[in-house]
């Protein structure tokens, strides 16, 4: 799959600041995190390629299983990357110094309390809830750090170069056909408005019907809708009244290139998550990108 250079990411960051002015304040932090990650990613790693035959893929999909049923990351590299990123947060926000020290201690103990050298991504809700409970860190920053680290490590541990050559047409579920996690965002492309969902963990994109909920698979149009914020239609919050979940969709029907960096678009549009919550919907991904305080504040 297509990986972006640091320069390309910086271009994307500039575009995001133009499209979503509220992102401008976060720009220095986000660029410094990608820069720090870039130097980390150059360290040697042991990538595990997906080597599945077409038959094996078919068998997995028929059983409702994604290509990688139980993605894992290295506990040691998780902590190493945390230590690389942590000073970048402190540089932008010195008051986080002690909080992040506590998070580091928590993470070291948390991983020491689990077996083996690797950790299963499916245990992320447990990690997040314990981190919020045992350290002063807020849910939004917990989600941000965890997602940033896990997606970076996924890139290091799994080689998805041949994922684009695999026929995913047999996959009719809303979660990622490659790694199985539930999506938080997606895009609309072409004049017909084909909807693709994007994976926050492995970065894969797959076509999913526009008029179907990716979480409960509901197709009843009465229950499906979307809203935008302000005058900008470039981001839409698609919701389902049946399961009360939302997914953020970037409208790229008029874009010259659909190859935007969705994780950055997501970070640039967290105010849309806030609106989604205010309207009574939950993130179908389970990822809480905004805090309860923010929700309460904006309600006043």
Footprint of Zn ion (CB under 5 A): 176, 178-179, 199, 201-202, 204, 213, 215-216, 218, 240, 242-243
Q: How many CB atoms lie within 10 A of CB 9?
A: 20
How is residue 67 written in tokens?
């290509």
> What are the Cα distances from residue 295, in Å, to 266, 287, 291, 300?
18, 15, 7, 9
**90 versus 224: smaller Cβ distance to Zn ion:** 224
**86 versus 151: smaller Cβ distance to Zn ion:** 151
Cα separation, 212 vs 38, in Å, equals: 37
Closest alpha carbon to 141 in 75, 207, 93: 93
**240 versus 290: smaller Cβ distance to Zn ion:** 240
The conformation of residue 165, written as its DSSP 8-state character, comes to G
- Reduced to 3 states, what is the DSSP secondary structure of residue 26? helix
Q: Are the CB atoms for 210 and 240 separated by under 8 Å?
A: no
- Least distance between Zn ion and beta carbon 202 (Å): 3
- Least distance between Zn ion and beta carbon 63 (Å): 18
**103 versus 179: smaller Cβ distance to Zn ion:** 179
- Least distance between Zn ion and beta carbon 183 (Å): 8
- Least distance between Zn ion and beta carbon 226 (Å): 13
- Reduced to 3 states, what is the DSSP secondary structure of residue 194? strand
Q: Are the CB atoms for 50 and 163 separated by under 8 Å?
A: yes
- Least distance between Zn ion and beta carbon 211 (Å): 12
Q: What are the φ/ψ torsions at residue 77 (nearest 5 degrees)?
A: -70, -30
C-alpha distance across the termini of the chain, in Å: 44
**96 versus 243: smaller Cβ distance to Zn ion:** 243
**73 versus 176: smaller Cβ distance to Zn ion:** 176
User: How many CA within 13 A on the CB side of residue 97?
Assistant: 3
**14 versus 122: smaller Cβ distance to Zn ion:** 122
Q: What are the φ/ψ torsions at residue 191 (nearest 5 degrees)?
A: -65, -30
H helical segments located in the chain: 6-19, 27-41, 54-62, 75-92, 97-112, 124-134, 139-157, 262-268, 270-278, 292-299
- Least distance between Zn ion and beta carbon 108 (Å): 27
- Least distance between Zn ion and beta carbon 71 (Å): 8
- Least distance between Zn ion and beta carbon 232 (Å): 25
The alpha carbon of 202 is separated from its chain's Cα centroid by a whole number of angstroms, namely 9
**130 versus 173: smaller Cβ distance to Zn ion:** 173
């Amino acid at each position: 799959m297509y990986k972006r250079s640091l320069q390309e990411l910086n271009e994307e960051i500039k575009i995001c600041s133009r499209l979503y002015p509220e992102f401008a304040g976060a720009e220095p932090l986000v660029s410094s995190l990608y820069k720090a990650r870039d130097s980390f990613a150059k360290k040697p790693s042991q990538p595990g390629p997906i080597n599945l035959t077409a038959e094996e893929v078919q068998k997995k999909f028929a059983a409702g299983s994604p290509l990688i049923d139980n993605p894992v990351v290295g506990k040691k590299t998780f902590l190493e990357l945390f230590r690389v990123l942590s000073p970048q947060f402190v540089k932008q926000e010195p008051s986080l110094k002690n909080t992040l020290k506590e998070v580091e201690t928590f993470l070291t103990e948390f991983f020491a309390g689990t077996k083996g050298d690797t950790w299963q991504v499916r245990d992320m809700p447990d990690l997040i809830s314990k981190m919020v409970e045992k350290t002063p860190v807020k849910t939004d920053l917990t989600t941000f750090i965890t997602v940033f680290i896990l997606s970076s490590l996924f890139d290091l541990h799994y080689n998805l170069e041949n994922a684009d050559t695999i026929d995913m047409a047999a996959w009719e579920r809303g979660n990622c056909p490659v790694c199985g996690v539930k999506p938080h965002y997606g895009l609309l492309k072409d004049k017909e408005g084909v909807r693709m969902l994007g994976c926050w963990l492995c970065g894969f994109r797959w076509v999913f019907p526009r008029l179907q909920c990716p979480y409960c698979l509901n197709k009843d149009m009465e229950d499906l809708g979307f809203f935008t914020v302000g005058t900008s239609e470039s981001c839409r919050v698609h919701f389902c009244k049946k399961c009360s979940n939302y997914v953020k969709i970037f409208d790229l029907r008029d874009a010259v290139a659909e190859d935007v960096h969705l994780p950055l678009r997501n970070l640039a549009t967290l105010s849309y998550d806030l609106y989604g919550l205010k309207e009574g919907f939950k993130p179908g991904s389970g990822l809480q990108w905004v805090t309860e305080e923010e929700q309460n504040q904006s309600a006043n």
